[in-house]
A = this chain, B = another copy of it.
Amino acid sequence: MRIVDQRALPESHVERDLESGREVAEAIRTLQVRGAPLIGIAAAMGLVAGLRDRRTAARDAFLARLDELATLLGATRPTAVNLRWALDRMRAVARSTPGESPALWDRLRAEATAIWEEDRAMCRRIGEAGLPLVPDGANVLTHCNAGALATGGIGTALAPVYLAHEAGRKVHVFVNETRPVLQGARLTAWELAHAGIRCTVIVDGAAGSLMRAAQVDVVLVGADRIAANGDFANKIGTYSLAVLAKHHSVPFYCAAPSSTIDPAVPDGDGIPIERRSVEEVTVLAGKALAPVEAEVLNPAFDVTPARYVTGFLTDRGLVKPPFSR
């Protein structure tokens, strides 16, 4: 399984071959591979990579190892539901496949490929659903990276932007840098610039005054998990952006594949929020940004209640809660 190590962007483009389930789990945990849809795909492929050397084992041993690897991979990130969704799907398909380990492994490989291909198609449908929101001359604001680098296709929040660009429309994207890990500045700006789409990086604190100056036509963000009532978890800072958008009457859309919807969670209170290491906030490029004596809080995500969301762009079109899968 070959990945682009996203930690190295934008300075260098590093590709890495992952050979085992453990390596894939480590890549997900350390954000070499990130973005809710992409970590679902990566986890499915991690199972395939990790079971490659068990193809000669008995069926029971193969399935037991599958469960072990799924547990390992599922524990890497708690917030995105796509991870669990992909792993559950892979386990179910293995169990329902008759025959011995080689047949099971072939089936899993096909299923992982299908998950990727479906994701690519879903991105395109999300883009089509959002295309009317990005007319010629539009100024979009986005947060974090919900683009091609976060998916198997053209992204979720950025999919309408890519399709608008493809259709010859002039689009400009304000990119929140997205502290602490700077996925906006590092990844979104990188992929937009490489696609020839004009973008402007701003610090997260500047979004409010841009909206006040009427420079933002629409806010497009992704999601790591959407509850049945439409509350959704996304990168820290999304909730602030949603409040600011509502306050300034700027339309605010959440874009995600249906696999992001978790009907088992009734509302946002049930979504677990990952707290990541304080060093993401306090250290950058080996430099201390805060004194060691200070405490640090680093919630990686926040929850935006459904009432702030103008609409959800999914592979089923523009939809509104409540959701069942």
| Interface residue from B176, B240, B290 paired with A208 (Cβ < 8 Å) | B240
Contact of A204 among B174, B205, B247 (CB under 8 A): B205
- How many chain A residues touch B (CB < 8 A): the figure is 60
A293 at interface (Cβ–Cβ under 8 A)?
yes
CB distance from A129 to the nearest CB of B (A): 26
A131 contacts B by Cβ under 8 Å? no
Q: Of the 9-residue stretches A73-81, A163-171, A277-285, which lies at the interface with chain B? A: A277-285
Asked if B291 and A189 make an inter-chain contact with CB atoms under 8 angstroms apart, the answer reads yes
Q: Kindly state whether residue A249 has any CB partner on chain B within 8 Å.
A: no
Given the interface contacts A177-B289, A285-B285, A290-B185, does A239 sit within 8 Å of B208 by beta carbon?
yes
CA gap between A175 and B297 in the complex, in Å: 10
Assuming the A-B contacts A204-B203, A208-B239, A302-B206, are A182 and B289 also in contact, with contact meaning beta carbons closer than 8 angstroms in the complex? Answer: yes
- Name the contact of A193 in the complex, choosing from B203, B204, B293 (C-beta under 8 A): B293
In the complex, what's the smallest C-beta–C-beta distance from A139 to chain B, in angstroms? Answer: 12
Query: With the chains together, A200 CA to B282 CA distance in Å?
Result: 11
Number of copies: 2
A214, chain B: closest CB distance, angstroms: 14
A295 contacts across to B, CB distance below 8 A:
198-201
A177-B179 in contact (CB<8A):
yes
Chain B residue at smallest Cβ distance from A144: B205
A10 to B294, CA, bound (A): 11
In the complex, are the beta carbons of A200 and B303 less than 8 A apart?
no
B239 and A209 contacting across the interface, CB-CB below 8 Å: yes
Which of chain B's residues has its CB closest to A209's CB? B302
Chain B residues with Cβ below 8 Å from A291 are 10, 186, 189-190, 193-194
How many angstroms between the C-alpha atoms of A288 and B287 in the bound complex?
13
Whether A302 lies near B179 (C-beta < 8 A) is no
Contacts of A182 in B (CB 8 A): 289-290
- In the complex, what residues of B have CB within 8 A of residue A243's CB? 208, 243-244, 247
B205 touching A236 by the CB < 8 A rule? yes
Within the complex, the shortest CB–CB distance from A178 to chain B, in Å, comes to 7
Instruction: Tell whether, in the assembled complex, residue B203 and residue A179 are in contact, meaning their CB atoms are under 8 Å apart.
Output: yes
Q: Nearest Cβ in chain B — how far from A80, in angstroms? A: 18
Q: Is A11 an interface residue (CB 8 A)?
A: yes
Q: Please indicate the chain B residues that have their CB under 8 angstroms from the CB of A198 in the complex.
A: 295
A179 CA to B207 CA, complexed, in Å: 12
Interface 1/0 per residue, A246-280 and B, CB below 8 Å? 01000000000000000000000000000000000
| Given A203-B298, A209-B240; 16 other pairs, CB 8 A cutoff | A11-B288, A175-B294, A185-B281, A185-B282, A189-B294, A190-B290, A194-B291, A200-B294, A200-B297, A205-B241, A206-B299, A209-B239, A209-B303, A212-B239, A240-B240, A243-B244
Q: List 19 A-B contacts (CB under 8 A).
A: A10-B290, A179-B204, A180-B203, A186-B289, A189-B290, A190-B294, A193-B293, A200-B295, A200-B297, A201-B296, A201-B297, A203-B298, A205-B236, A208-B239, A209-B239, A209-B302, A240-B240, A243-B244, A285-B285
